[in-house]
Chain A
Amino acid sequence: MNFFQAQSKARHNTRLLSLLFIGAVLSLVVLTNLLVLLFFVDSYPGATLAQRISDAPQDLWLYTSLGVIGLIAVASGFKYLALQGGGKAVAESLGGVLIHQNTADPTQRQLLNVVEEMAIAAGVPVPPVYLIRESSINAFAAGFGIHDAVIGINQGTIDLLNRHELQGVVAHEFSHILNGDMRINLRIIALLNGILILGIIGGALMRGSMFSRSRERGGLIALGLALLVIGYGGTFFGQLIKAAVSRQREYLADASAVQFTRSNQGIANALKKIRNHSAGSQLDSPQADENSHLFFGAIRSFSSMMATHPPLEARIKALDPQWQPSDSQQTTESHDQGAAMAANMSGFTGQTDRVSQHCGSANLPEAQRMLESAEPVLSHASHDTFEARAMVYAMLLSADESTRSEQLALINRMAEPGVPALIPKVYECIQKQSQRQKLLYLDQAMPTLKAMSRAQYQRFYDLIGQLIVADGSVDMLEWVIHRIITQELYAHFVGPFRNSGHIARPAKVRKEVTVVLSLLAATSSTDQAQRQQAFQAGIAIWGDNQRQLPIEYFDYQALNQALDKLRHLNAELKAQLLDACGAAVAADGLLRDNEFALVKGIATTLDCPMPPLEATA
């Protein structure tokens, strides 16, 4: 299953859940109406239900129904609002401590390296990592989408697991990010909260009416009790659904972790360590409960029906079929079958010419190779809050001397003290790098830049904009850099961009797709015949017969306009569009750096991951 199939499945599941929820609300309305009729309508004793209905005041049912629906809406809405803060808010509410990218602690350093490798291998932004001060072995991922995701890790996890096992755990969490599990889960939390409120109010009503002396006292207590039962009962069944959904996702995430790391031993051994650890994977924090499904291991021990995670033994068995529960305490180093298991999984075919097939998987060896060959000065700069900005400024400096001196003057005027002095050293390094490498450093710098304050971000963002337009034009790489920064930092500091996924018909976006493919064709070659060939390759995949648009320069405004609409494509069409882009740039059998950069910029705007593709398509 690739990223897009997972996304559309997640959307489908969300719709199903919403239907279930509407059903639940309707039955709650009917039940409450019945209760009100039974207890509050003054009929003679022994009246039948039909008589009571005819005796009831005319508007009674309306008020009751509105009341129940209103309560549920208010409760769900509030929770949803509270969750709008995204992954950062969840991590902070769990008491997470942000691990800074320039930390001096070697185990934390290792954890950040593992997360960074995995993010670059999967082609998603490197998420900020939070440390949870608990000694058990656990981890979680939270957020609405790939751009506001965060990862949280327990202290026990980094103390007790080795690098290989840590990699398995981190890969498991990335699978939750890529499969859209976090989003469904956030919705479930909000909806469950809506039903729970009825129970809470029922409880309050009962306690309140114990002391009242009114004539209706008995009725109030009964209504309270009934609401209590409905609310908590509803929540109970809701929890069952949530747990069942969650258990399925856990198996999927374990399997994906094998696929990402090409190893089944890392994650299997991590699970075995949880099994042998006295604290297991349990958490003390009460706030963790409503996020229980986001974690790597179960945070409470429940009976099988309510468990958010499958039993450890079953998970280990699925990963390592030879393992016996009676096995020795220690983790095993048996023959690693991860590569074979990964190859067996559907969707992973190793070599494929469809870009969308790569989305949602991870290319770990390539990512490790890229990071190992990175320039140390720039790797260091991208991990330091202060120097990371200087690096981004330096990336945008023009090769043209007079424009560059104008840009430097801008930096001198607008940047914080100390930044201008750093520029020359960084510029010297960065100008030697290829476009693809520049984007790698930008990816690495993202979590670092997210540690700025909002005011500092505003200043940084303003200066970036001015540096880009200093020469009076926007070139392709400048556009990509600006896109990535906007998409990711905006999601972090302000709020994620909305993409509704409501466009399901290719005919609606004919013009926009033509613009995108024409631009890609123009980027791929200067020769008109080759451009035509590239465009045709792309449009054939899209399944249309539009004519190529004549494009003489990098028209970023047309591209922005097109992407603003294409952002709302549904998952299938997004996959098709990315495949078309891939086919256009690969028409000549070469994947050039500038082509990769532009496709990455487009994919980022569409909220799609873009794993590192091999240099030749």
Chain B
Amino acid sequence: MEMIIVLIVVALLAFWVVRIYNQLVELKNRHENGFSQIEIQLKRRYDLIPNLVETAKAYMSHERETLEAVISARNDAVAGLAAAAGNPGDPQAIQALAGAEGVLGGAMSRFNVTMEAYPDLKASANMAQLSEELTSTENKVAFARQAFNDQVTEFNTYRSSFPPVIFAGMFGFASDAALLEFEDAKEIQAAPKVSF
């Protein structure tokens, strides 16, 4: 009757493997759903930026370059977001979005520095409200990004833990999903350069 025992063990193994597969699918779908929250918040931010530039144009007509840089960086980021939203599991698309976001962040900070020279603009009610909304969407993006990264980490940890790692490749989960990190986060994490 060893045969029956063997059969039970085989059945156990089969079900176990199926469970691993289901778990992988679930975790993957979960972080992809997490990405759509980032998408919502980023879109909101990208919608605000043209308004900001329109408002600024009236005051800083001599700073066309800065304004155009913001708009073009924003357009690149919109394209990056569309690509990443199509496939949040693709590390390259996520990297590209992070890159575009970095460029946009740079352009925005240059814009903010430039704005310092225009106290009238800074003081205008419209501008104050837009800046306030931008800041709050930035916080929301950060929060959504944190949730996404938590979920990605959960997926990656499970994927590379012992039994699942054997089957993950076979099931089409060969590589880790990418975390979405923006430039500012990298700067904070980078060790300060010390020179003597």
A interface vs B, CB < 8 Å?
59-60, 63-64, 66-67, 70-71, 74-75, 78-79, 81-82, 85, 89, 92-93, 95-98, 100, 102-104, 197, 201, 205, 384-386, 416-419, 421-422, 451-456
Contacts and interface: CB of A to CB of B under 8 A. Distances in A.
B171 interface: no
Given A82-B22, A92-B26, A422-B136, A67 B8 contact: yes
Contacts of A454: 150, 154
Contacts of B15: 74-75, 78-79
Contact of B143 (A64, A67, A89, A418): A418
Given A197-B11, A418-B142, A451 B37 contact: yes
Nearest to A452: B147
Contact of B139 (A60, A64, A418, A456): A418
B29 interface: yes
Interface string B49-73: 0000000000000000000000000
B7 interface: yes
A100 B19 CA distance: 28
Contacts of B147: 385, 451-453, 456
Contact of B8 (A60, A74, A100): A74
Contacts of A417: 139, 142
Interface in B130-165: 135-136, 138-140, 142-144, 146-148, 150-151, 154
Contacts of B43: 104
B136 to A, nearest CB: 7
Given A67-B4, A97-B33, A453-B146, A81 B19 contact: yes
B166 interface: no
Contacts of B29: 92-93, 95-97
B19 A201 contact: no
A98 B4 contact: no
B151 A453 contact: yes
Interface in B20-36: 22, 25-26, 29-30, 32-34, 36
A567 B140 CA distance: 38
A60 B1 contact: yes
B128 interface: no
A98 B150 CA distance: 17
B191 to A, nearest CB: 23
Contacts of A104: 40, 43-44
B8 A92 contact: no
B12 interface: yes
A304 to B, nearest CB: 32
A97 B40 CA distance: 14
B5 interface: yes
B19 A385 contact: no
Given A74-B15, A82-B19, A422-B136, A416 B146 contact: yes
A416 B4 contact: no
B150 A455 contact: yes
A78 B5 contact: no
A97 B36 contact: yes
Contact of B7 (A96, A102, A201): A201
* Main SS at interface, chain A: helix
Given A63-B1, A63-B4, A71-B11, A78 B143 contact: no
4 smallest CB-CB distances across A and B, nearest first, come from A418-B139, A67-B4, A453-B150, A63-B1
A67 B26 CA distance: 32
Nearest to B31: A453
Contacts of A419: 139
A104 B36 CA distance: 12
Interface residues of B, number: 39
A362 B28 CA distance: 36
A375 to B, nearest CB: 19
Given A82-B19, A418-B142, A98 B36 contact: yes
A454 B140 CA distance: 17
B131 to A, nearest CB: 13
Contacts of B22: 82, 89, 93
A29 B48 CA distance: 69
A453 B143 CA distance: 10
Given A93-B26, A422-B136, A452-B147, 20 more contacts: A59-B1, A67-B1, A67-B8, A74-B8, A81-B19, A89-B22, A89-B26, A92-B33, A95-B29, A97-B32, A97-B36, A102-B40, A104-B44, A384-B140, A417-B139, A418-B135, A418-B138, A418-B140, A453-B34, A453-B148
A64 B4 CA distance: 7
Contacts of A421: 136
A70 B144 contact: no
A82 B19 CA distance: 7
Of B33, B34, B139, chain A has the most CB atoms within 10 Å of the CB of: B33
A238 B25 CA distance: 28
25 contacts: A67-B7, A71-B11, A74-B15, A78-B16, A78-B19, A79-B15, A82-B19, A92-B26, A95-B29, A96-B29, A97-B36, A103-B40, A205-B7, A385-B37, A385-B140, A385-B144, A386-B41, A386-B140, A386-B144, A416-B142, A417-B139, A418-B139, A453-B148, A454-B154, A456-B146
A418 B154 CA distance: 25
A40 to B, nearest CB: 10
A322 to B, nearest CB: 44
A92 B40 CA distance: 20
A92 B138 CA distance: 29
B144 A92 contact: no
Contacts of A59: 1
B112 to A, nearest CB: 18
Contact of A67 (B5, B32, B140): B5
A60 B3 CA distance: 12
Nearest to B39: A100
Nearest to A227: B7
Nearest to A89: B26
A100 B85 CA distance: 14
A377 to B, nearest CB: 13
A85 B146 contact: no
A230 to B, nearest CB: 14
A27 B44 CA distance: 63
A199 to B, nearest CB: 12
Contacts of A418: 135-136, 138-140, 142-143
A422 B135 CA distance: 11
Contacts of A63: 1, 4
B89 to A, nearest CB: 13
Given A92-B30, A386-B140, A100 B25 contact: no
Contacts of A103: 40
Interface string B83-112: 000000000000000000000000000000
A434 B140 CA distance: 28
A264 to B, nearest CB: 35
Contacts of A96: 29
Nearest to B16: A78
B74 to A, nearest CB: 17
B18 to A, nearest CB: 8
A422 B136 CA distance: 9
Contacts of A85: 26
Contacts of A205: 7
